[in-house]
Structure formats: structure tokens, C-alpha cells
Amino acid sequence: MSLPLYLIGARGCGKTTVGQALANALGYAFSDTDRYLQQTTQRTVADIVSAEGWEGFRQRETLSLKAVTAPATVIATGGGMVLAAENGKFMREQGRVIYLKADANVLAARLEAYPEQDQRPTLTGRPIADEMVEVLAARDALYQQTAHYVINAMQCPDKVVEDIITMLSLARAS
């Protein structure tokens, strides 16, 4: 049985794009915790945060993670999934966790090129470039300690997928 693969990292690192391509390459199913949450609640992340606060959203995020976890599935998680220690522990125990690591300036440029304001409210209320520096400073250590593997996500999605497949092959061989 093939373990689930969890993609973690900051907003804009490519979890959904890479996740879909990786799932296709491996013949796995694909799931996105934010999408699942939006489909089951029929609300955007911004609407949930507005109604329930970040704490309510984070509780729903944990439930979504558990709901979408299945063998042979690539799971794109929300950028803050690692903020709850139970989520990190759950992912590490259930499957393999891959941190898609990118510099704050790269993430900010991607988010500015493809804005999704209706999906994810700002965490700090500050300009996106400033916010990404702040978010990465706060979360990088959590991403690192949660991940089984760290992948450079500052390259094209196809190269990221190729690097993940190579890394998984090497891990199986050892």
C-alpha cells in the first residue's frame, strides 16, 4: 500500500500545481485541504475566518486533513497546516511529508502574479512581500521539523515533480 504524500509550505510555493502534476506522474489521487474545506462548507477561507476567526478555521483545517488522508494520495495542505502540532504529527505518522521551500521574494512575486484574495485573507494586513518574509520567518522551522524531505520549489513545477520522484526513489532504495 502506498503512503499518502503531504505537500507543505507557504502560500505560493506550488503545493496545488505540483501536487496535481505529481499525482498524475505517480498514478495517485490528488486532494487539496483548502479546496475540500471550501467544498464541504460552501464558503471561502475568507468567509470562514470572518465568521469563526483563525482558530475556527484552523480547527476545520485539521478535520479536512484527516478527511482527505488516504493511501496513494498526494495532499496539498494549507500553508498554516503545520501551526497545529497535532497536524504535523499526524502527517509524519500517516505518510511522507515534503516541504516545498521557496524564498519569500519568489512567493510574493507568484502571489502578486496570481492573486487569490477571495480564497485566502492576508494574515498580517501588510503588503504581500512583507507578509511573506514575516510568515516564512515564523513558519520555516515548523516546515523543516515536520518534513521528511525538503525540495527546492523555486524551479518550474515539472522540475519540482522530477526532484520529488527522484528523492522518493532514492528513499525506497536505501
Q: Give bridge partners of residue 152 from the DSSP assignment.
A: 101
**Residue 17 assigned to a binding site:** yes
**Residue 66 assigned to a binding site:** no
**Residue 155 assigned to a binding site:** yes
**Residue 16 assigned to a binding site:** yes
CA distance 23 to 38: 21
**Residue 34 assigned to a binding site:** yes
**Residue 15 assigned to a binding site:** yes
**Residue 158 assigned to a binding site:** no
**Residue 13 assigned to a binding site:** yes
124 φ, ψ (degrees, to nearest 5): -120, -15
CA distance 29 to 150: 22
How much is the CA Rg of the chain, to the nearest whole Å? 15
Q: Give bridge partners of residue 76 from the DSSP assignment.
A: 7, 32
**Residue 78 assigned to a binding site:** no
**Residue 79 assigned to a binding site:** yes
In the chain, beta strands by DSSP E: 5-8, 29-32, 73-76, 96-101, 149-152
Can you say which residues are annotated as belonging to the binding site for substrate? Answer: 34, 58, 79, 139
Can you say which residues are annotated as belonging to the binding site for Mg(2+)? Answer: 16, 32
Can you say which residues are annotated as belonging to the binding site for ATP? Answer: 12-17, 120, 155
Can you say which residues are annotated as belonging to the binding site? Answer: 12-17, 32, 34, 58, 79, 120, 139, 155
